[in-house]
Amino acid sequence: MRSLAIFLIALGVAAGGAWAHPLIQQPMWVLSEPGRIRVAVNVSAREIAVAQGLEAREDGAIADALSLAEAAEREADYVRRHLRVLADGRELAGQITKITPPPAISSDEKTHYQYELDYPLTGPAPFEIAISEDMLREFPYAAGMAWDVSYIIRLKRAGSDEIASGLLRRQQPFAFVRASPAKGGGWKTFREYLWDGVMHILTGYDHLLFVCALVLATVSFWDMVKVIAAFTLAHTITLALSVFDIFRLPPWVVEPVISLSIVFVALENVLWPRRSRSWARLAVAFSFGLVHGLGFAGGLLDAMAGLPAIGIWIALGAFSLGVEIGHQLVVLPLFGLLTLGRRFLHESFAKPAMRYGSLAISLCGAYYLCIAIHEQFFSR
């Protein structure tokens, strides 16, 4: 039982370190000119509401048009302070030059204000320009949950028609050499989206809890391979369909179903342990995997819309590979720990580990199901 307690503590720590990071991903345009750097960034009404403390009204809307417009004006200073541009390591002083309101007010995620900033360069032309951000870092999404804001950068140099793309995350600043912003563009895009896929999994509670519930019920390595392969195939299909705008579902469907999938699979381990190692489990893993793929797409959809075709293929392939690497970084150690426990402790470890581990996962899933329902239906 001592070994079981250690296992459950380790599982709890892993789950605790993988709280949800609600993903907001926006496009950002960067124009490198002689003597200045110009930046244009989209900010959704949802981000403005969080940063400026707007509360939802009784009808579910964040605010009326006038209140939102006033908050968007205040947001300009927040954007300026949390977006940093450095020239050869020296921070530039930027100013908001223009705020473009949305043509119409719709949902909080689809209503965007665009902020244009100007960063004058003084002295000799810098060799390297770097951009970093920490948007919404100080505002919690929920207990133990942080916002995750990132940007798809489209970079253009004055006098050139070439457009380079890159990914800007809080933990991953974007840097480029002004003389050749497009150098290594394809490989750079691949590296950045690969890392984005890995981090999307390692910092996402929902997908990790789901795969942990799948692995807890496996006995042999072949069982584990089959169920993870079914899940991988499914989420790869819907991720691609979403990115190419062939099939999508709204967040109010996707997010609660993802949380529900955690509860369902974990309780299936407890109530019907034999079925959790049958073909029915493969069907469950595949079916819920289709929904998880739509969740993986998340903010990638709108932000990738302006990338060239080859850039979309590179980003999609790299992100999918990163997602799978992230899965394996969790799945293989967990399966190895379970295998060692079964080998040396036999039934005194195997059944309690699956039962109590699955119960812990189901409770986490139920908690996040409540958060997803509240976020999608009662805070809009």
Residue-averaged pLDDT of the chain: 81
Distance between CA atoms of residues 102 and 111, nearest Å: 6
* Residues of the chain above pLDDT 70, percent: 84
What's residue 2's pLDDT?
44
What's residue 16's pLDDT?
37
What's residue 185's pLDDT?
57
Of the CA atoms within 13 Å of residue 97, those in its CB half-sphere come to: 12
* pLDDT for 302 beyond 70: no
Least confident of 21-25, 187-191, 290-294: 21-25
If 0-12 CB within 10 Å is exposed, 13-18 middle and 19+ buried, where does residue 313 land?
A: middle
Cβ neighbours around 279 below 10 Å, total: 10
pTM as predicted: 0.66
Tens of pLDDT, residue by residue over 188-233, are: 778 878 887 887 788 777 888 999 999 998 888 998 999 999 999 9
* pLDDT for 184 beyond 80: no
Angle (CA) 235 275 259, round 5°: 40
The residues near 313 (Cβ < 8 Å, ≥ 6 apart) are: none
Average pLDDT over residues 77-84: 96
Average pLDDT over residues 284-310: 76
What's residue 353's pLDDT?
87
What's residue 4's pLDDT?
40
Cβ neighbours around 102 below 10 Å, total: 18
Asked if 211 and 337 count as a contact pair (C-beta separation under 8 A), the reply is: no
More confident call, 132 vs 183: 132
What's residue 42's pLDDT?
94
More confident call, 55 vs 122: 122
